Structure 1
Amino acid sequence: MLHLKLVLQSFFKNKQIYGPFIFSASILTALNYIFWSIFKNPSLAKLQQGATITTTASLGISFVALIGLFFMFYINNTQKTIEAKQLGLYNMLGFAKGDLYLFQFLKNCCLLLATVAIGLSIGILFSKFFFLIFQRIIGLDGLSSTIELDVLGINVAYVAGIYLLLLLKDLFYVWRVNPIELWHGAQKPEKEPKQNILLGLLGIVILSGGYYLAITTKPNMAGINKFMLAILLVVLGTYLVFISFSIVLLKFLKRRLNYYYNPKHFISLSGMLYRMKQNGAGLASICLLCSSVCVVMISTISLYAGQQKALATWNPTEVVLNLPQDLTPAQKTTLNDLAKKSQVKITDETALTLAQPLIGKFQGNRFVEENFSTAIYKLAGLTLAQYNKMQQTNYQLKENEALIYAPNEKLGQQLTVASHKLKIKQIKDFKLAINYDHSIFQPVFLVVKDQQQLDKIFSKHHQKDSILPNSNNDYVYLKLFNLAGSLPNQKSFVQAVVQNFKLVSAQYSFKAEMRDFFKQFTGGFLFVGFLVSVALGLTTVIIIYYKQLSEGYADRQRFQTMQQVGLSRKETKKTIIGQVLAVFLLPLLGSGLNTACALPAIISVMKIFSLYDQKLFITVSLIVFGCLSLLYLGVYLLTAQVYQKIVNQKD
């Protein structure tokens, strides 16, 4: 009973330590509950895109679970430096190690009960609200939000598992440390860290390597793996730079006597230097968390806002048929009969015959065929007669001349395709620049003089083992048209066409279905991205808060000593603001650099899914980083007051 009373007194006395921890852990538990309630929602299983939505929710579960684990262990480490004096005091009052073990056990049990009770209450209370937002974003009605017992059980087990690991860590800490040293350890000054120039330079090299990989990432499947490697290098490099290179830099400034012995720099520089080894990891974590918020929000908002452009590329008309051969007169009659039966009218009909595409990439003045993982483009061919008819132009071409539509490339006047050298002119307008098979390769189109020239270039060189639909044929026959009629009748007509012509999913595309798919796909990512960003942002704020808290306690005695030898309150405040601002600007600047270098890789990934809009992307990036900077500044102002209050407290 005494141990429990001491635990509760400790919570009350140190509410500024435990209060934010319980609140943040509860919010993360609530977010985890919301994601699980979506993942386990039975009404989603009935939807056509239900599997896509649940997969997206599972990504959110993984992210929030990892963030929660990292957050609670990080804050637990920070609390240790503050709790050491308290545990040392209990030992001096007669507590043996067994009593300290019991104290830690009861402390974690109380924190577990508070986190579960508050977190699940918030989760249940707000799950319906967030579920309505989720429905609105993905554009679906008829979904129901229910409280599932297995979801509650999963979340309790998750939180209990983390607290069990924390308890084992706390018990090991008490077992390893001599209790009498806890009291002295809390007062023991830190030694000046040793500089490691090689480790600092290694951090810069690794970070630069990560930046290089991110900037040079190409829009293909291999580029995704390259981007993942870049992320790992940036994470490792950021930690090494903040931990090692920051010490090298501060010691360099210290050796500059004119700079170091300036009253404006002496106190803040010495304080930063003595604890940078410990704080470097915290600053690196803040930098990476801010970078993650930027990358997640820029990516998901750009995806959601750019879905109309992708839809226009996939479905320029209401219906697109991708056939292995042209429709016969009888089939055309059947198509019209099905339209009349479904009470819809076929309008704006267009037929387009394309040479089977080559997949590859542009390399200098050549189009080089590549495999699935390294290819960027699919190059399809058509005759000049077809192009002039669609575009209502009157171009004339010779045997070795061609027009090319490649909006993301700046090509010269010569191009070699499948050993054929062509004199080319790049065109900027092609009404049916369609990604007809919805592949990850960006469509480009080569317009040649006639059918004979088309056969020479494509018929003997297209890839027979291609993953593209109808790839065993030399040509792709596209039938595109719009529909006039009600949406239910349009859906009925498309279903009838699919059944009558025995089409597989890769051979037809209906714009209404594609619109729903994009809204659910991008909307799901936007919803997950928003909640993950909330978790990342909350973790960042709490890490900053605890960093200020622990540094305030560590600096209090030092500032009080300096005040006793003549440092005024005004000078103390000025020094505190300068020191905190200098430390806080580093992660923000680092996150800005990380985000800027990640943008080319994000663009490449978005191009794979035809979701990149340059103007929109730049606008979103500037707004997201601007908002993050303002929020970061607000957190700095609030936590600087906490730091100053602790420093000015009397023991």
Structure 2
Amino acid sequence: MNKKWYVKLAVTNIKTNGLMFRPYLFTCMVIIALFYTINSLVNAHALKSISGGNFTIDVMKFGSLLFTVLSLFFLMYANSFIFKKRKKEMGLYNLLGLEKKHIRKILILETALIALFTMIGGIAVGLVLNQAVGIAMSAMMKVPLTVSMISIPALLKTIGIFIMVFSIILVFNLKQIHSVSVIELMKGAQIGEREPKAKLVLAMLGGVLLFSGYLLSFTVKDPKLDISAMITAIVLVVAATYLLFIAASIVLLKMLRKKNSIYYNKNNFTLISTMIFRMKQNAVGLANIAVLSTATLIVMTTTISLYLGVNTMLNNSFQFDVSITNPAENIPEQQQLQTFIDNNKNRYDVDTTSAASYRGGQFAADLTGDGKEDFFLILPLEDFNTLTNEDISLAADEVMLLKDKETAGLQSINLNEESFKVKSMVEDLPIDTALADSVDRNWIYVIAPLTGEFAQTLDLENSLTMYQDFNLQGDADAVNDFSHAIAEEADKIGYLDVEAKSIYKESLLVRFGGLLFLGIFISAVLVAETALMIFYKQISEGYDDRNRFAIMKKVGMSEAEIMKTIRKQTLIMFFAPLTVALLHLGAGLPLVTKIIGIAAMDNWLVVLGSGLFAAIIFTVIYGATYLFTEKSYKKIIKH
């Protein structure tokens, strides 16, 4: 056969099946564009040079890997649907005299044309999107960020990955052709399912699993320590979702069918009978959509919360604008940096306030005698008295503790098998207690004389750290510039460590800005996957229902009644998964709050607002998909 004939037939096939191929082609282009954009950012030199940029690059690398997996899964699903609907077409080619080797050549050309078209289109869109994302990230991260339009490594990786993806899809299609007979191909798109049985036990189990999953979500206290409980909650909710759609929905429909007043109503008869007949197949698809929708909403809520919660994290982590630490014996270095601060604050038009200076040390030991190591900060009594303008005295074997749930009942503490009496509890420390926060656990605060037995056991005098804290008053840009100047001067002097709120904010904006964009990209893929799954599911139902509605029309059902039934069916098919996903999101918000609380972001109002925003955006996109799909479904039914 002439090669041009194969190419012409392949092009004609794609055009003829345009209803199924157009969304597939569009989605392929979007995924390729996003994939190119992510990998272009990974190779951006500008991103590598800013604070927190390496973290963002690592996040984008993980996103690139996740994109590859999602893309393969997603495109394989879409392709399997398209191929199932085309099996009859392939069988017809065989009957008309084409051998399987000829059909194989047609499929190879079709795949090559789709891959070529979508990669050229996707990369072209990606080149433009890359610049737009660079500008948006620069604005959100509050740093100058110039991204090259063309990234050769990203270009080569995109081409390589999607050649591999389309090759896997082609192998799947070729295997389908070679493993089935002509008769099976002719009947491939017509295979239906029997009416499912009502399984009350499974429906009840689904309800129990859902309640248990929600309960775990609300009761997890510390995600770092309760990882198994958190994973269990997710697994329970996912399993419950499938059981409720597969079993509970059928039980409900059959209960409605037993109600004569409901079932034999002309507005419900066709709807209930059709959905019962198709529910087993529909239920799995609806559960898939619900799970994907929930994943999208959770990703959107988490990433938006992290970005919007930057100020909360800063306030939780920093009580002062600038904190300086250094070994206490480095007095010349301390004085040199202090001189720089005093001489330059007028130049930057800022002033220092709330200054505090004190010594201390950080150690670990089993103070409480519970067999577990306690992290503790010791503040010399002399510094405590200076900060509080008090004159408290302690015996050599006495200490004071900051009162909290760990220390409230302690009468003494132990160190190296020696016991020290707790003379009293301090309600509040006169220093920033967040200074000694640990990611892993809370600290115990001990106040003891520098010449006392507790401090001497630790050899505290030779391991003291000097802490200097102060706030800056002035214009935000001036405060930021002066903070950078102090940090740079400290680096020049050496032996000094400077932590500044404004510098840390820059790093957080870069980190969480990158996370936000990765969340947007991943959400875009999940939304596209959900929308295409809904579209193909509804199109499949349209072809299956067309004959049934034609029969109904012949026995007297009006066009208006048919359209009314279609609207009800599509509404249920679409909004049942969305309703379940929104319910899952609401139940999961407490868990999301606790997870991002690990990053010192515990503002539940931010999480609630982010969840509402994500729900609104997703519902709008979901609704637009519904309108488009309903239109295509009606068109199939009418013809």
Name the TM-score class by shorter chain: 0.7 to 0.9
Q: Does 1:161 align with 2:161?
A: no
In the other structure, the counterpart of 1:305 is 308
In the other structure, the counterpart of 2:417 is none
Pick closer, same or farther for the CA change 1:614–1:379 going to 2, 3 Å: farther
Q: Does 1:496 align with 2:485?
A: no
Pick closer, same or farther for the CA change 1:22–1:517 going to 2, 3 Å: same
Matches within 5 A, 1:398-547: 404=403, 415=409, 433-437=432-436, 439-441=438-440, 451=448, 478-482=467-471, 490-498=483-491, 500=493, 502-503=495-496, 508-547=498-537
Amino acid at match of 1:121: A
Amino acid at match of 2:84: T
CA distance in 2: counterparts of 1:249 and 1:630, whole angstroms: 28
Pairwise CA RMSD of aligned residues? 4.1
1:213–1:230 contact (8 Å) kept in structure 2: yes
CA distance in 2: counterparts of 1:471 and 1:558, whole angstroms: 86
1:211–1:597 contact (8 Å) kept in structure 2: yes
Deviating more after overlay: 49-58 vs 546-555: 49-58
Superposed CA deviations along residues 517-558 of structure 1, whole A, max 9, x for unmatched, are 111111111111122222222222222111111111111011
- Alignment counterpart, residue 59 of structure 2, candidates 32, 56, 60: 56
CA distance in 2: counterparts of 1:104 and 1:386, whole angstroms: 80
1:224–1:605 contact (8 Å) kept in structure 2: no
Q: Does 1:350 align with 2:361?
A: no
Pick closer, same or farther for the CA change 1:148–1:452 going to 2, 3 Å: closer
Q: Does 1:295 align with 2:298?
A: yes
Pick closer, same or farther for the CA change 1:525–1:213 going to 2, 3 Å: same
Pick closer, same or farther for the CA change 1:139–1:113 going to 2, 3 Å: same
- Alignment counterpart, residue 339 of structure 1, candidates 338, 341, 345: 341
In the other structure, the counterpart of 1:584 is 574
1:259–1:265 contact (8 Å) kept in structure 2: yes
Deviating more after overlay: 107-116 vs 634-643: 634-643
1:36–1:61 contact (8 Å) kept in structure 2: yes
Pick closer, same or farther for the CA change 1:370–1:300 going to 2, 3 Å: farther
TM-score after normalising by structure 2:
0.83
User: How far has the Cα of 1:509 moved from its partner?
Assistant: 1.1
1:368–1:417 contact (8 Å) kept in structure 2: no
Pick closer, same or farther for the CA change 1:304–1:537 going to 2, 3 Å: same
Pick closer, same or farther for the CA change 1:639–1:144 going to 2, 3 Å: closer
Q: Secondary structure at the match of 1:320?
A: strand
Pick closer, same or farther for the CA change 1:328–1:166 going to 2, 3 Å: closer
CA distance in 1: counterparts of 2:407 and 2:500, whole angstroms: 38
Deviating more after overlay: 80-89 vs 437-446: 437-446
User: How far has the Cα of 1:359 moved from its partner?
Assistant: 11
TM-score after normalising by structure 1:
0.82
Q: Secondary structure at the match of 2:435?
A: coil
Amino acid at match of 1:491: H
Q: Does 1:557 align with 2:547?
A: yes
| Number of residue pairs matched by the alignment | 616
User: How far has the Cα of 1:301 moved from its partner?
Assistant: 1.4
In the other structure, the counterpart of 1:572 is 562
Superposed CA deviations along residues 127-180 of structure 1, whole A, max 9, x for unmatched, are 111111112222221533241222112111111111111111111212222212
2:202–2:243 contact (8 Å) kept in structure 1: yes
Pick closer, same or farther for the CA change 1:603–1:488 going to 2, 3 Å: closer
Superposed CA deviations along residues 352-394 of structure 1, whole A, max 9, x for unmatched, are 566758899xxxxx998867xxx9xx77687999899979999
CA distance in 2: counterparts of 1:100 and 1:623, whole angstroms: 49
Amino acid at match of 1:435: A
User: How far has the Cα of 1:260 moved from its partner?
Assistant: 3.5
Q: Does 1:637 align with 2:630?
A: no
1:367–1:415 contact (8 Å) kept in structure 2: no
Pick closer, same or farther for the CA change 1:266–1:433 going to 2, 3 Å: farther
2:483–2:503 contact (8 Å) kept in structure 1: no
1:11–1:18 contact (8 Å) kept in structure 2: yes
Q: Secondary structure at the match of 1:186?
A: coil
Superposed CA deviations along residues 312-348 of structure 1, whole A, max 9, x for unmatched, are 2333323213456x56766653443343576677543
Superposed CA deviations along residues 218-270 of structure 1, whole A, max 9, x for unmatched, are 33523456434543443344334433443344344445555434433332222
Amino acid at match of 2:631: Q
CA distance in 1: counterparts of 2:295 and 2:365, whole angstroms: 33
Amino acid at match of 1:235: V
User: How far has the Cα of 1:116 moved from its partner?
Assistant: 0.8
User: How far has the Cα of 1:18 moved from its partner?
Assistant: 0.3
Pick closer, same or farther for the CA change 1:121–1:382 going to 2, 3 Å: same
**Percentage of pairs with the same residue:** 27
CA distance in 2: counterparts of 1:551 and 1:369, whole angstroms: 64
Q: Does 1:548 align with 2:538?
A: yes
Q: Secondary structure at the match of 1:436?
A: helix
User: How far has the Cα of 1:41 moved from its partner?
Assistant: 1.7
Q: Secondary structure at the match of 2:601?
A: coil
In the other structure, the counterpart of 2:602 is 612
1:414–1:421 contact (8 Å) kept in structure 2: no
1:322–1:436 contact (8 Å) kept in structure 2: no
